[in-house]
Structure 1
Amino acid sequence: MVHLLGAENVSVSFATRTILDSVSLGLNEGDRIGMVGRNGDGKSTLMRLLSQRSTPDDGRVTKRGDVNVGYLDQQDVLNGDLPVGVAIVGEAAEHEWASNPRIREIMEGLVGDVDWHATVSSLSGGQRRRVALAKLLIEPHDVIMLDEPTNHLDVEGVAWLARHLKTRWRPNEGAFLVITHDRWFLDEVCTRTWEVHDGVVDPFDGGYAAYVLARAERNRTAAVVEGKRQQLVKKELAWLRRGAPARTAKPKFRIEAANELIADVPEPRDAVALNKMATARLGKDVLDLEHVSYTPPPRPTDGAGGPGPLFDNITLRLAPGERLGLVGVNGAGKTTLLRLLNGEIQPTVGKVKRGKTVQTAMLTQEVRELDDVLDLRVVEVIQRERQVFNIGGREVSASQLVEQLGFSKEKQWTPVRDLSGGERRRLQLLRLLVGEPNVLMLDEPTNDLDTDTLAAVEDVLDGWPGTLVVVSHDRYLLERVTDHQMALLGDGKLRGLPGGVDQYLELREASLAGKSSQASASGGAAETAPGTVHSEADKRQAKKDLNRIERQLGKLGQQEDKLKEQMHTAGAKADVDFSGLAELNRKLQEIAEEKEGLELEWLEVSEILE
């Protein structure tokens, strides 16, 4: 392999702490490397050194003379006064770059929905991130270094970036180094992993799953006494082995070794026990959105509203102990849906039914909830709630609980105002959990958290008995902590995803392809043709179809009412059959999905009669 660049005995210290201690490593052609480690352990520092954006205290960084390195920083480095088009392609005429299919594909994948003439400063944080990424990717770099590129990207954007990096070069050409907490992304694009910790860098073959196994094996072989951390690694490894079909169909670690290592690891969640506790805490009624429509109010600045209704006649019923993941395009209303469930806003049409015993808590994307405790120390924030907590049937002290989410004994006594963004995020979640809500809603909970902390958060959620609703672009997290997913596609509807995130991406691809073909077809004749003309025979068939669909919907409604009555009766018994309740709830969800499909068909058929 051809050597591209590397570090020789580099060391970096900040104040009295050594971040990197005599580290030597290199990138060769064909390398696809993911970098992991705790926040603050030196990942970004090492990337800046290798990209020659900074210099080490000792040692040196070498680079082959003709190697071109592209680097995406976490910071916003674009000139805010430039129009988007100029920021990406400079002063190049459109025909100069539009004739290149690779550049067109990057533009469509990252900035197809961004106003080409808008100034960079007027864009949202996510849009600016995508513009910066597009600018980097259209340039002919030999090595690409990306520091948290998935931040501000939705599920679809992350999947696009993974496809691009996998196909950008031939297998033995080019190289990239990426820092990200998105574990699905690491597994999808990386063939090697660097773990940065305690001033050193440990290399591992394979992506994230292989790294988890290798790290657990390394700890066992070296007889490292890391009881709590070891158990988390093993538990996550057990999840990886039992995870989504897309992962188990192409395992990236040795199954035999994994089986031996995790033979004594229980299932991540005892679903029956958790359902029993959830029903005891919540009763049979949790939160229902019934035929809800919602249109955002006019903006106070100019009196203008949004583009129209965010939700159009949606129904959602949350059961005790249900674990729901929500995905969707930016602006489709994911956060708004959580706010409706949380009672912060009211629907324009329809109603929200709330069980009598429901206590909700919501983790927002901001951390303003900690403003009132900035002068307290971490452990004091939790001790204000209680001294002892029950987590997954075990009693733990406030100090133990804080340590479980990654705050060392020393860090527990740090004032909240001195915490990093990721540490505040952890404390924010922990503070919500100790308030003992029975419905927990998490809005992009992975922001600012490293992979080890995410594993710790997931471990806490495994033993949490309540209803959970998670909005996230992190598909690994969604598959890990939720049992089923639903999607907001930007058309006002809420759709079930029996096929998980992969099904969502397929729906989005089909939707975009349909819009593209409609736009192409409307390029000429659409301006004069008012629409498709349907024959009388088409209309007669449409009436028959409408009658059929309405009869089917009526039958499904009766089945739905019968199932709800059965669940009510079963839940009222002294000896509740929780497995039976779970089966009834599964049938109820299937009916809801079938109804949704019929309602969509009804709309399509009714257009013929207009």
Structure 2
Amino acid sequence: MHYVTVEGLTKSYGVKPLFNNISFHIEEGDKIALVALNGTGKSTLLRILCGKETPDEGKVWIHKGVTVVMLDQQADFDMSKSVIENIFDHSHPVLNAIKEYELLTDEEGPEPDVDKLSEAITRMDDLNAWHFDTKVKQILGKLNIHHLDRIMSTLSGGQQKRVALAKVLIDIGFEHKHTLLIMDEPTNHLDVAMIEWLENYLDQEKVTLLLVTHDRYFLDNVCNEILEIDQEQLFVYKGDYLNYLEKKAAREESERASVEKARNTFRKELEWMRKQPKARTTKSKSRIDAFYDVKEKATTRLQNQQLELNVKMSRLGGKILELKKVYKSFGNLVITKGFDYTFAKGERIGIVGKNGVGKSTFINMLLGLEQPDSGKINVGETIIFGDYSQQGLVVKEDMRIIEFVKNIAENFPLADGTKVSAAQFLELFLFPPEKQYTYISKLSGGEKRRLHLLSILFRNPNFLVLDEPTNDLDLPTLSILENFLLDYQGCIIIVSHDRYFMDKLVDHLFVFEGNGEIRDFPGNYTQYREWEKDQDRERADSKKEVKPVEKPIEAPVQQVAENKTRKLSFKEKREIELLEQEIEKLEAEKKDIETKLASGEIAFDKLEPLTLRIGEIIQLLDEKGMRWLELSE
């Protein structure tokens, strides 16, 4: 099924176009990643497709049977309403029933009224809403969304982003057979376990997808096509990110050869033009027209969009950073429990752990922004920290880019001993002269992040602390940043959920396991995940090998039963009962269809629907089986 056609689309802000006369198609089942430098129109194009912005020229045609659902970087919530009211923000009998049931059975809420709960269960039964409720529970649980009655304004930015993601996933799972899901940086504010779950979920749901992401593993695992906006034009690449890089390099090489050929032709034609008399024949007129075409091609500026990071690093002394018996906690949340560590020159450490275990607090203690409850943190005299935080740029008042940079310094030393002016350094960071007089408030999120990085490197740090450095940065900039960090001689600490970025740069990990436990793991993130999975398998195997112990004669029967049964909430007990009934029905239906297919007596026109249905049943059995296992464990 054909979903979207875009023809001749043009959009400008000010004088310079973001993209010019671009066209492409989206078919059912496509999973497309949109790639471009920050500030060249990625988010604008997404917003045009879902009707939130209008193009200057061109047309967007969307099939009348297709519903467009978008996860924007800035979610549009009613901040005075609760989490569940924002998630289920439109009225429908099934959605209303689920909303009421979820509020009554919220484990973080008060004990429900028995009569109201009974009415809610009856309504769920009548509307056959249990299957969709199971999917809602899975989404909310995996994204760690609880306290459904909390008001949105009390949530952090990361929590709000996860609520927005949950709302979008619930929307596409409800009544929308044909959905185009548009996602702008969906992995921001998700920990790695959530990102891995989202990859699997999007694959299972078989949605049609258009997304912008900086996470290359996520891109490779989810997408099969890449659209690139480059110098106002759009290019299409089938395949994964590596294939895109190879094909792009070949395209740029071909463009360079084409421009060089045009320049040679231009020199010859220019000489002919200068010799031409004023009275020109019809034949020479066509050659003159061709000359101007060649001139335009020959004067094409081949932009080498390369972020060159070769700043000078301040000298690093013998003493770097020491932590001795560091304790830190906030109420019941223990961050560190007697942590000891001495940093060596050139160390590259990644910090990983679930959201809320204290990674940012740990970083703030290293930087002196937070004090430990006890213990010592000794910083070497030569250490100059470069803190690339999630907070981003701090500007007292809106100012132009060039003014902001000159307030730091007029000139900046490079690694080779030379100096460059503020304007020249901005060009190295892909801020051309015409862009340097733009107000910071007018920059895209990624451009602000790039400017923030520039302002940190100006100070010649020798100890970089990078807290989620990949958020909102475009892929070309990330690639160059990685190459710079590989050659960087100072110490680096990276807090990131970008698995590709971590794998490429870190030597070992500090794994925050909760309750103040910090594991020093010798390897990168992928190696850690493999080790973690091996540990899970070993624990599972050891449980299987344990033989049941005979019940002692003197043990009270009632006590044994109490120890054997885990305390399940009413809601969980009800869900297990329903899952067992649904799994039994699905197994019976699957067996019936298999018998019919094996008989060889099915009419051809009924064969395809039965084949599709058995695929749906297998997927449903997987989903419900996983949920049953989660509850039973």
Letter in structure 1 aligned against 2:238: D
Q: Does 1:371 align with 2:405?
A: no
Q: For the residues of structure 1 that align with 2:391 and 2:402, how far apart are their CA atoms? A: 18
Equivalent runs, 1:346-357 vs 2, <5 Å: 346-357=371-382
Q: Does 1:485 align with 2:509?
A: yes
Q: For the residues of structure 2 that align with 1:133 and 1:108, how far apart are their CA atoms? A: 13
Equivalent position of 1:423 in the other structure: 447
Per-residue CA deviation, residues 309-354 of structure 1 (Å, 9 max, x unaligned), is: 2211222321111111112211211111111111222221222122
Q: Does 1:118 align with 2:150?
A: yes
Q: Is the contact between residue 406 and residue 453 of structure 1 (CA under 8 Å) also seen in structure 2? A: no
Q: For the residues of structure 2 that align with 1:289 and 1:13, how far apart are their CA atoms? A: 52
- C-alpha deviation, 1:218, in angstroms: 1.0
- The sequence identity of aligned pairs, in percent, is 35
Q: Is the contact between residue 335 and residue 362 of structure 2 (CA under 8 Å) also seen in structure 1? A: no
Q: 1:281 to 1:45 in 2, by over 3 A?
A: closer
Q: 1:468 to 1:499 in 2, by over 3 A?
A: closer
Q: 1:200 to 1:97 in 2, by over 3 A?
A: farther
Equivalent position of 2:40 in the other structure: 41
Equivalent position of 2:554 in the other structure: none
Q: For the residues of structure 1 that align with 2:431 and 2:139, how far apart are their CA atoms? A: 41
Q: Is the contact between residue 382 and residue 431 of structure 1 (CA under 8 Å) also seen in structure 2? A: no
- C-alpha deviation, 1:207, in angstroms: 2.6
Q: Is the contact between residue 429 and residue 450 of structure 2 (CA under 8 Å) also seen in structure 1? A: yes
Equivalent position of 2:273 in the other structure: none
- C-alpha deviation, 1:375, in angstroms: 4.2
TM-score of the pair, normalised by structure 2: 0.66
- C-alpha deviation, 1:34, in angstroms: 0.3
Equivalent position of 1:196 in the other structure: 229
Q: For the residues of structure 2 that align with 1:479 and 1:227, how far apart are their CA atoms? A: 33
Given the alignment, which residue of 91, 97, 110 partners 2:96? 91
Q: Is the contact between residue 489 and residue 508 of structure 1 (CA under 8 Å) also seen in structure 2? A: no
Equivalent position of 2:5 in the other structure: 6
Letter in structure 1 aligned against 2:97: A
Equivalent position of 2:200 in the other structure: 163
Q: For the residues of structure 1 that align with 2:560 and 2:67, how far apart are their CA atoms? A: 47
Letter in structure 1 aligned against 2:501: L
- C-alpha deviation, 1:508, in angstroms: 7.9
Equivalent position of 2:19 in the other structure: 20
Q: Is the contact between residue 378 and residue 427 of structure 1 (CA under 8 Å) also seen in structure 2? A: no
- C-alpha deviation, 1:31, in angstroms: 0.8
Q: 1:395 to 1:531 in 2, by over 3 A?
A: farther
Equivalent position SS for 1:489: strand
Letter in structure 1 aligned against 2:9: V
Equivalent position SS for 1:222: helix
- C-alpha deviation, 1:531, in angstroms: 13
Letter in structure 2 aligned against 1:295: S
Structure with bigger gyration radius: 2
Equivalent runs, 1:381-530 vs 2, <5 Å: 381=405, 384-385=408-409, 387-391=411-415, 393=416, 395=418, 397-398=420-421, 399-414=423-438, 416=440, 419-502=443-526, 505=529
Equivalent position of 1:337 in the other structure: 362
- C-alpha deviation, 1:191, in angstroms: 0.8
Q: 1:419 to 1:128 in 2, by over 3 A?
A: closer
Equivalent runs, 1:60-139 vs 2, <5 Å: 60-89=59-88, 90-93=95-98, 94=101, 95=124, 97-100=129-132, 101-110=134-143, 112-138=144-170, 139=172
Q: Is the contact between residue 289 and residue 315 of structure 1 (CA under 8 Å) also seen in structure 2? A: yes
Equivalent position SS for 2:510: strand
Letter in structure 1 aligned against 2:153: S
Q: 1:394 to 1:406 in 2, by over 3 A?
A: farther
Q: For the residues of structure 1 that align with 2:344 and 2:72, how far apart are their CA atoms? A: 43
Q: 1:397 to 1:342 in 2, by over 3 A?
A: same
Equivalent position SS for 2:97: coil
Per-residue CA deviation, residues 89-111 of structure 1 (Å, 9 max, x unaligned), is: 4422344554344443322222x
Per-residue CA deviation, residues 228-285 of structure 1 (Å, 9 max, x unaligned), is: 84777xx9xxxxxxxxxxxxxxxxxxxxxxxxxxxxxxxx99xxxx9xx99x932332
Per-residue CA deviation, residues 514-558 of structure 1 (Å, 9 max, x unaligned), is: 9xxxxxxxxx979976999xxxxxxxxxxxxxxxxxxxxxxxxxx
Q: 1:226 to 1:455 in 2, by over 3 A?
A: farther
Given the alignment, which residue of 188, 211, 214 partners 2:244? 211
- C-alpha deviation, 1:499, in angstroms: 4.8
Equivalent position of 1:549 in the other structure: none
Given the alignment, which residue of 306, 309, 313 partners 2:338? 313
Q: For the residues of structure 2 that align with 1:227 and 1:483, how far apart are their CA atoms? A: 37
Letter in structure 1 aligned against 2:318: K
Q: Is the contact between residue 140 and residue 146 of structure 2 (CA under 8 Å) also seen in structure 1? A: no
Q: Is the contact between residue 350 and residue 496 of structure 2 (CA under 8 Å) also seen in structure 1? A: yes
Q: Is the contact between residue 507 and residue 522 of structure 2 (CA under 8 Å) also seen in structure 1? A: no
TM-score of the pair, normalised by structure 1: 0.68
Q: Does 1:360 align with 2:397?
A: no
- C-alpha deviation, 1:36, in angstroms: 1.0
Q: Is the contact between residue 156 and residue 505 of structure 1 (CA under 8 Å) also seen in structure 2? A: no
Q: For the residues of structure 2 that align with 1:396 and 1:207, how far apart are their CA atoms? A: 40
* Alignment gaps of 5+ in structure 1: 236-267, 297-305, 515-523, 533-610
Q: 1:310 to 1:530 in 2, by over 3 A?
A: farther
Q: 1:69 to 1:505 in 2, by over 3 A?
A: farther
Deviation larger for 285-294 or 453-462: 453-462
Q: For the residues of structure 2 that align with 1:42 and 1:228, how far apart are their CA atoms? A: 17
Letter in structure 2 aligned against 1:126: G
Q: For the residues of structure 1 that align with 2:39 and 2:57, how far apart are their CA atoms? A: 20
Equivalent position of 1:180 in the other structure: 213
Equivalent position SS for 2:471: coil
